[in-house]
Structure 1
Amino acid sequence: MLQFGQHRSDISTTTSGEHDLKLNYPRWASLSALSLALLGLGIVSHASAAVTAIKAARMLDVRSGNTIEAAVILIDGERITAAGSKLAIPAGAQVIDLGDKTVLPGLIDMHTHLTGDPADLGYSVIAKSVPRITLTGAKNARLTLQAGFTSVRDVGADAYADIGLRDAINAGDVPGPRIAASGPPMGITGGHCDDTMHAPEFKSVALGVADGVEEALKVTRRNIKYGADVIKICATGGVLSFGDDPRTSQYTLEELKAIISDAHRLGRKVAAHAHGGDGIRLAVLAGVDSIEHGSYIDDEGIKLMKEHKTWLVPTVYLGDWLIANAEAIKLPAPLLAKAKVVLPTARQNIARAIKAGVPIAFGTDAAVYPHGLNGREFAVLVKLGMTPLQAIRTATVNASELLGWTDRVGSIEAGKFADIIAVDGDPLKDVSTLERVQWVMKGGAVVK
């Protein structure tokens, strides 16, 4: 039962040609769900199912880069039916007037770990059960949605917890963004995607560990069996793992080809954690869809990624937060030492990749820093050479293309989900406005 006295949010609306109407409902409840509930009480008329019209001073067309003044967006159910300047609003439409705000498509983060938090980067993660990380994921999904990210790709969670979270959100059980989930990330024994925090006598091996072509195929198929939308692999060592080097490759070309070709055959894309040049080269040659991080990307990697049209998903803001907060989260000294070397180097190399024209999609690695701060990545991308519009496109049209969801999200266009955000000011002049999203709609329901 929805408890209308708890977790309420007031959303002022008007019905065209009628008096002001104020609706109170839980943040995660859609207007349609509210209407059904109230219909059962006999206090909702047919007008409640009418078209919704959003009015705002400005709307950013992320494809053209144009700002549309006096914007009107018409929505029927979950989908946009029309968007433009001064569109006629149908009689009986529910009108949401956002005043002087700028509206944009809901943002997309292509590299999250919703079931993790920064404190988990230390030894405390050993004490966390799957039920506990799942509930952590529910909390972080809500924070991410409230920050204006209406879609995410979750690239690595223990025990398929991200897949369970995705399904709970889709069922309406908890609030959160649309999720493309990977389940357990795949890696070699003792590699970045293996659990390296337990002593050997505990014989702890991560669920996604697969060595050799035969095992790699089996784990790929198992992840898909249990609901993975995307396959995540660790092609190199990492920063936040013991005993490996981010510059060295881990999977062989043969193993990578087996995983990627099978995933593609079964309709899934593949994301490769890859810091080092050799790991990037091997993953791209094997046909991977995206390189995550790319900290040590070199001229050969840049050339190959452009030739193969492989997406780069840099995660650069985390370097600021992690190093500043390492003591507070008790980050183990060996991991901090690696971070202090790798993360500043990454910025230099990512800037070169941006300048060279490598295709970029937006990602944050949220969990390395607190969820909800995802928007801070935009300003760093601009510092590294992007224009504000280019940075915004990484989290809208670019990300939707990498997801394979261009028919659903990434722009405010007829037929797309009504995933829309609003900010004060002009993000083309100050991209940091995206750190302070004021209003969020997902699938036609106001959630902030």
Structure 2
Amino acid sequence: MVKAGLKETGSDMNKRLLWASLILFITLIPFSDRTLAQVVIRGGLLIDGTGREPIPNSVVVIEGGTIKAIGPVGRVVTPTGATIIEANNKIVLPGLIDMHVHYRSWEDHLFISHGVTTVRDVGNSLAEILQERKRSQEEGVAKPRVYTCGPFLDGFPPIFVMQVSYPVTTPEEAKAATSKLIRAKVDCLKTQQNITLPLLEAITAVAKKGKLPVTAHLGDSRLGNIKASAAIALGIKGLEHISGIDFLTTPQSELEEIADMIVSHSVFVDATLVLDEILSKLLDPELKKDPLLKQVPPKEFAWWERVYGLNTWWTERHSNRWRTILRKKKEFIRMLIKKGGVITAGTDTPVPYMYPGVSLHRELELLVSAGLTPMQAIMAATKNAAELLGHADRLGTLEAGKTADLQILSHNPLENISNTKSVEVVLRDGRIVWKK
């Protein structure tokens, strides 16, 4: 506004034009890109991830990216002026968490469009993954929230290249490498197959002081690598791939003892059954016909061919072995669940034909086929995952005070776990990041 009697200068006019442009810009920002003051999701069947009974005709009140109130219609007041998202005849579910990925930025759309709002990276270049984690924390990004263990802690020679591994040969080196990762502020620590018992002991000791969970991918126990029971005794918090157990020869009595130890030491088991399934059919020509293959960068596919021997050394004998392992792992999970074991859901994407998001839904199907109820499978990818991450205070379940990461489905996954695929809307931090 120009005061009477004063002449407007060019500078004043420029300021007015700038403010007018800014106001117009804000007005034109799409709904999904704004920080919404209040959003209400109303009318859906709420499966909150805690394991409690679903709430029909629910109301979820979101303010500033946080759930402010949640419950049935009639008990939760809808704020005046809030943006309403009607979810009648729909399902409201927490955003899913994939607990075993090797994150690449090309995966973002596939994760988000399949309802995966958080991932745990368990092996990557430190500088690159810390940068990706930072980007994932930016407001309004349509990508999953990233937590990371940084590079693998491995023995020598490392299983994977030096860019993604910290190979160590002595307990002193193991302590130094662990301390370096703690100083870098990683979210967890991941040991790889060639780590030895003295090295793992050094790592877990430093990790305990630094209050970081250690998750372990153990090597083939037939070759003298660490057994699961020994790693559990040293204090690992997560067991990847149910490794460190020879499922082809271990007697049932010993499997029972290992399961009891997992439960008594409160170890989370990330089964990655979908990985075993993929390896069991790696030679299936139908895999190359999947339309999702077009979304895989050529560089990634070349890595698949080199590391997994596609079209070279992989044979039907390898596939048959993994079919047997998959069956045995399912039997173990069925026993573990009956004993009170806790499962998390992970995939190992992007190994060959393991598509982000899609593979997590398949993992849930396989977990149900292994004896979990649909509710338990959902908890594996929500509540249990958040607990292992150490962020159950704000992620994993839909409760007042927690981050508003959620999705709206068209069909009920408690009736059929495959219905987790029926994603229609995805919110991260209370804003729509994907809509069908």
Which TM-score tier does this pair reach, normalised by the shorter chain?
A: 0.7 to 0.9
* Residue in 2 that maps onto 1:91: 80
Q: 1:392 and 1:303 mapped to 2: Cα distance? A: 23
Does the alignment pair 1:220 with 2:178?
yes
**Range that drifts further, 221-230 or 84-93:** 221-230
* Residue in 2 that maps onto 1:267: 211
* Residue in 1 that maps onto 2:321: 341
**8 A Cα contact 1:141 1:177, kept in partner:** yes
Q: 1:48 and 1:353 mapped to 2: Cα distance? A: 42
Q: Which residue, out of 382, 385, 395, partners 1:399?
A: 385
Q: 1:42 and 1:231 mapped to 2: Cα distance? A: 42
| Aligned AA (1:289) | K
**8 A Cα contact 1:275 1:293, kept in partner:** no
Q: In structure 2, list runs of 5 or more residues that go unmatched.
A: 1-20, 29-33, 248-254, 289-303
Q: 2:94 and 2:168 mapped to 1: Cα distance? A: 38
Q: Which residue, out of 315, 335, 342, partners 1:355?
A: 335
**Range that drifts further, 284-293 or 363-372:** 363-372
* Residue in 1 that maps onto 2:429: 443
* Residue in 1 that maps onto 2:418: 432
* Residue in 1 that maps onto 2:349: 366
Q: 1:395 and 1:306 mapped to 2: Cα distance? A: 19
Distance 1:49 1:380, change over 3 A: closer
**8 A Cα contact 1:294 1:350, kept in partner:** no
* Residue in 1 that maps onto 2:150: 183
**8 A Cα contact 2:153 2:195, kept in partner:** no
* Residue in 1 that maps onto 2:38: 51
* Residue in 2 that maps onto 1:73: 60
**8 A Cα contact 1:400 1:409, kept in partner:** yes
Does the alignment pair 1:62 with 2:49?
yes
Q: Which residue, out of 399, 410, 416, partners 2:396?
A: 410
Post-superposition offset of 1:89: 0.8
**Range that drifts further, 176-185 or 327-336:** 327-336
* Residue in 2 that maps onto 1:7: none
Post-superposition offset of 1:447: 0.7
**8 A Cα contact 2:280 2:318, kept in partner:** no
Post-superposition offset of 1:172: 4.4
Q: Which residue, out of 225, 236, 256, partners 1:299?
A: 256
Distance 1:255 1:225, change over 3 A: same
Distance 1:301 1:352, change over 3 A: same
Post-superposition offset of 1:40: 6.3
Name whichever structure is richer in helix by fraction. 2
Q: Which residue, out of 194, 200, 225, partners 1:256?
A: 200
Post-superposition offset of 1:251: 2.6
Q: 2:204 and 2:235 mapped to 1: Cα distance? A: 7
Post-superposition offset of 1:205: 7.8
Distance 1:81 1:338, change over 3 A: same
Matches within 5 A, 1:4-15: none
* Residue in 1 that maps onto 2:369: 383
Post-superposition offset of 1:64: 4.0
Q: 2:174 and 2:375 mapped to 1: Cα distance? A: 40
Q: Deviations over 1:138-192 (max 9, x none)?
A: 1213321221111111100134422221111113485311111111111111343
**8 A Cα contact 1:53 1:96, kept in partner:** yes
Q: Which has the larger radius of gyration?
A: 2
**8 A Cα contact 2:277 2:326, kept in partner:** no
**8 A Cα contact 1:291 1:311, kept in partner:** yes
Does the alignment pair 1:103 with 2:92?
yes
Q: In structure 1, list runs of 5 or more residues that go unmatched.
A: 1-36, 115-136, 196-203, 237-249
Distance 1:339 1:160, change over 3 A: farther
Q: 2:328 and 2:420 mapped to 1: Cα distance? A: 24
Post-superposition offset of 1:323: 4.0
Q: Please, what TM-score do these two structures have when normalized by structure 2?
A: 0.77
* Residue in 2 that maps onto 1:143: 110
| Aligned AA (2:376) | Q
Partner secondary structure for residue 186 of structure 1: strand
Q: Which residue, out of 225, 229, 234, partners 2:187?
A: 229
RMSD: 2.6
Q: Percent identity?
A: 29
Partner secondary structure for residue 312 of structure 1: strand
**8 A Cα contact 1:252 1:282, kept in partner:** no
Partner secondary structure for residue 154 of structure 2: coil
* Residue in 1 that maps onto 2:406: 420
Partner secondary structure for residue 55 of structure 2: strand
Post-superposition offset of 1:230: 0.8
Q: Deviations over 1:1-23 (max 9, x none)?
A: xxxxxxxxxxxxxxxxxxxxxxx
| Aligned AA (1:229) | D
**8 A Cα contact 2:280 2:321, kept in partner:** no
* Residue in 2 that maps onto 1:317: 274
